[in-house]
Structures are given as structure tokens and as C-alpha cells.
Amino acid sequence: ATGALLTLVVSLISQHSLMVEPGKIPWLLAIGFIPGFVALYCAVLALQRLPTAVYGTLSYLEPVAVILFGWLFFAETLSASQFLGSLLILGSGLGPALISALCARPVAAK
């Protein structure tokens, strides 16, 4: 609802038309319902069932997945800053996990 209201305000300020073809209304409802309600519901369920560190690490991957899906499914191109940002997100999420795994390994005594 907040997104719809903000879109309405921006559209009214910028003088753009709000006309939508009737055949596209179900698609608009689907993209509002699925990423909005379903995704947030699944996130709440995951928070209840996963340790915080695991959920936090997985949530780092969401923006990278969105960029990857846009590239694969919609033939969008990545700018250099998007690519660098993806690498930084992956590094900041997976780097500490790899470092702690390496530090936690027992050292064999000779």
C-alpha cells in the first residue's frame, strides 16, 4: 500500500499518465503480491527457523540474486558499479564465513 501511494504521489507530481491497459492489471497485482506479501512471509518463517547468522548470510545474497536474475531472464546488462557491488556483497557475506571456517580447523600436530 505504501509503494502504491508513493507511486501515485510521484506520478501526480511528474505529470505522467496513470493509464494501465486492462490486460496488465493481473500482472501488476502479481508483482505486488508475490514479492511483497509472499516474500516477506517466507522471510519471517526463515527468521523463526534459522539461526541469525545463517539468515544474515543468506540475506546478503538477495541483491546479487536479483541482479543475476535480471541478467539471465531479461538480458539486462551489468554496469561496472553493479558488478563491483555484487562482488563486494558476496565478499562481505562469504568472506567472514570462510575465514572463521579456516581458523576453526584443528591443526595437526607432528
Show me where the domains of the chain are located: 20-49, 51-110
Rounded average pLDDT over 58-78: 83
pLDDT mean across residues, the chain: 81
In angstroms, rounded to a whole number, what is the distance separating the alpha carbons of residues 88 and 94? Answer: 10
Please check whether residue 57 is in contact with residue 94, taking contact to mean a CB–CB distance below 8 angstroms. Answer: yes
Reference 58, options 82, 81, 39, 78; nearest CA is: 39
pLDDT score of 49: 92
Which comes out higher in pLDDT, residue 7 or 22?
A: 22
> Would you state the cell numbers that stand for residue 5, as one nine-digit string?
501511494
pLDDT score of 4: 73
pLDDT score of 105: 67
In angstroms, rounded to a whole number, what is the distance separating the alpha carbons of residues 87 and 93? Answer: 10
Q: Specify the 3-state DSSP secondary structure of 21.
A: coil
